[in-house]
Amino acid sequence: MGYPPPSPPATHLRAPIRVLALGDTHLGFDSPRRPRADRPRRGPAFFEAYLRALAPAFAGQVDVVIHLGDLLYRSRVPAGLQGQALAPLLALARAGLPVCLVPGNHERSALPYPLLDRHPDLHVLARPACVRLAVRGLRLIVGGFPFQREGIRPRFRALVAATGLLDTQADIRLLCFHEAVEGARVQGFTFPATRRDVVPGQALPAGVAAVLSGHIHRHQRLTRDLAGRHLPAPVLYPGSTERTSPAERDEAKGCLHLALGAGPTPAGRLLAWRFRTLSAPVAAQGPPRVLSGHPPAWEEAPVERAPGRAREP
């Protein structure tokens, strides 16, 4: 009589993987290089929000950073602005923190970054692909694809398949994109499944711990479709990090912190999530204040090395 095979490692005892997810930072908004009118500009507030969102990553408090698209406010921007926008992400990548970036509609679905000063820990999902990370002894696979200008609905399932995410051995799988999902809400509108530019809820794959998306500027979490059926996976939108339109005045702005663990399936589990507020709704902020000054110098922020630093297998 033989012995039973050895048990797999008790992965549930391992520290959860800490993911920081942010999106729609729209850097460059209201930042004219040669302003024609002397009025307070909101541009610096966008950089401040971006850097405050990233602060826990610089402090060594997260294992992976995922930017869900619309890093920049439009697709054609001066090279200096591109460099300024990418610099914090590159600094984190150089310190050994994996950073994934999903191109959004304002990146014309393929970031215009010839300057990319590519770093192996900065992963740009400019085509359907998955990023294999080894974090805290677990295999975290991040699959995704860029924003689809021609409409996501007819091609969604094929794109998910093309990432290879669901065919890759994993302890935890995340699907990331920059699209509206059925049931997503913005001020005065709910996205129906029938639109060509919407992912129908039941088309989402079951084999992922969570779906993360940019594009919708209001933070929200979706667990059911518009018919009330459970979604195959929860969908989380961090929303934009700063207000881009008056329609967002009643929304809190921030980013998401996720704790992910292994098992019982290769999808892994979303153990916990938290929305970290960067700015409260306008009505709760008191009298308006003038936004001025310059973005804080990210270069001066040292990157502390997290104990569970990730390595590429």
Q: Using CB under 5 A as the criterion, which residues of the chain lie in contact with Mn ion when the complex forms? A: 24, 70
Q: Which is nearer to Mn ion, 24 or 242 (CB)?
A: 24
Cα distance between residue 145 and residue 159, in whole Å: 7
Tell the smallest beta-carbon distance from residue 215 to Mn ion (Å): 6
Tell the smallest beta-carbon distance from residue 222 to Mn ion (Å): 18
Q: 131 - beta bridge partners? A: 142
Tell the smallest beta-carbon distance from residue 186 to Mn ion (Å): 11
Q: Which is nearer to Mn ion, 71 or 208 (CB)?
A: 71
Tell the smallest beta-carbon distance from residue 213 to Mn ion (Å): 11
Q: Which is nearer to Mn ion, 171 or 248 (CB)?
A: 248
- Any alpha helices (H) in 238-280, and if so which ranges? none
Tell the smallest beta-carbon distance from residue 68 to Mn ion (Å): 9
Specify whether the CB–CB gap between 212 and 306 falls below 8 A: no
Residue facing Mn ion at closest CB distance? 70
**β-bridge pairing 189-190 and 198-199:** unpaired
Specify whether the CB–CB gap between 195 and 179 falls below 8 A: no
Q: Which is nearer to Mn ion, 100 or 303 (CB)?
A: 100
In 3-state terms the chain splits into helix, strand, coil percentages (rounded to 5) of 20, 25, 50
Q: 100 - beta bridge partners? A: 66, 123
With H, G, I as helix, E, B as strand and everything else as coil, classify residue 222. Answer: strand
Q: Which is nearer to Mn ion, 14 or 108 (CB)?
A: 108
DSSP state of 267: T
Distance of CA 20 to the CA centre of its chain: 8
Tell the smallest beta-carbon distance from residue 104 to Mn ion (Å): 6
DSSP state of 293: S
Q: Which is nearer to Mn ion, 61 or 245 (CB)?
A: 245
Q: Which is nearer to Mn ion, 144 or 266 (CB)?
A: 144
Sheet of 138-144: strands edge to edge?
129-135, 138-144, 172-177, 210-213, 230-237, 220-224
Tell the smallest beta-carbon distance from residue 62 to Mn ion (Å): 22
Cα distance between residue 149 and residue 108, in whole Å: 8
Cα distance between residue 235 and residue 225, in whole Å: 11
Tell the smallest beta-carbon distance from residue 204 to Mn ion (Å): 21
**β-bridge pairing 230-237 and 220-224:** antiparallel
Q: Which is nearer to Mn ion, 24 or 182 (CB)?
A: 24
Contacts of 226 (CB under 8 A, 6+ apart): 182, 183, 190, 192, 193, 201
